[in-house]
Amino acid sequence: MAESFVLNTGARIPSVGLGTWQIQPAAVGDVLYAAVKAGYRHIDCAAAYRNEKEVGLALKKLFEDGVVKREELFITSKLWSGNHAPEDVPEAIGTTLEDLQLDYVDLYLIHGPIRIKKGTTMSPENLLPTDIPATWGAMETLYDSGKARAIGVSNFSCKKLEDLFAVARVPPAVNQVECHPVWQQDKLRKLCQSRGVHLSAFSPLGSPGSPGVNGPSVLSNPIVTSVAEKLQKTPAQVALRWGVQMGQSVLPKSANEARIKENIDIFGWSIPEDLMAKFSEIKQVRLLRAEFAVHPQSGYNSVEDLWDGEI
């Protein structure tokens, strides 16, 4: 079963990555070191997570200790909403590369179709309408320069992805979105497959306990738990394995060493077809709705607007 997927650039993206959102700066170094030792080769970062400096120190130590080589890792980062102006994009990746102590990232994403004034926080008075074509043009320049070996987007609906395809010279390689058995993204997955865009799943376990995440639990969903029982796996392993079998990379976050190991132990077994079919019976609910972006200044007057009806 796929331990990696091929992007439209020809590069391989490992199918399980370590998510670093909400891992405290003081803890992220040890977590990352343990994850790479456990076999992770894909690390998902972002300027917005405020821990890239500490990730960079851990990467440096991993390289110096000979645990792994730079070319064996797939490292993603993301352009923050305050840096959408084309002239701010090179500066943003420059800061990320300096913090991560790297010459390039394997993937650089627009963190979301939400823009704020430069140097401000995500609050209503700071929201601005996006200009994705202009921002994407600057992303394409980064791709040309080699500082980002692939470029893509995050939190883009089908419509926003189609709008981007209409103007893109370099097509996006990845769309990283919320995806798990309770929000399966069927329509978006089909579009991505038809367009050669890899779907990458953040919150593949439903992100329990995260701010802004409300709704049914993925890990205690009766279908997930019954499949786990039948296969003698944990609900988390089943949710992650489901994602990989659906063709997406999954980015579980954990700061617990035992769970870090458990989350990558999803190869060498599979969910049989009859049990995979049961996942289609799960009631679908988007857990991360991003209501904070709904405001006349952002150009989104409702949650439906933001997600183009995909809620």
Say whether pLDDT at 1 is over 60: no
Measured distance CA(21)–CA(251) in Å, rounded: 10
User: Directed axis angle between helix 25-37 and helix 52-64, to 10°?
Assistant: 40
Model confidence at 287, pLDDT cuts 50, 70, 90, reads: very high
Rounded to an integer, the average pLDDT of 161-173 is 98
Measured distance CA(234)–CA(181) in Å, rounded: 14
Q: How much is the pLDDT for 207?
A: 79
Q: How much is the pLDDT for 164?
A: 98
Q: How much is the pLDDT for 142?
A: 98
Task: Show the beta-strand stretches assigned E in the chain.
Answer: 4-6, 12-14, 18-19, 42-44, 74-79, 107-110, 115-116, 127-128, 151-154, 174-178, 198-202, 249-251
Both tokens of 180, joined, read 């798990």
| Mean pLDDT score of the chain | 96
pLDDT cut 70: percent of the chain above it: 98
Active-site residue among 40, 49, 108, 300?
A: 49
Say whether pLDDT at 219 is over 70: yes
Q: How much is the pLDDT for 59?
A: 98
C-alpha torsion angle, residues 267, 195, 93, 17 (rounded to 10): -10
- Element of type H or E holding 166: helix 158-167
Question: Which among 44, 125, 128, 43 is positioned nearest to 81, based on CA atoms?
Answer: 128
Rounded to an integer, the average pLDDT of 11-33 is 95
Q: How much is the pLDDT for 209?
A: 66
According to DSSP, the β-strands at 18-19 and 12-14 are unpaired
Rounded to an integer, the average pLDDT of 128-154 is 98
**Catalytic residue list contains 49:** yes
Q: What residue has token string 């997406």? A: 248
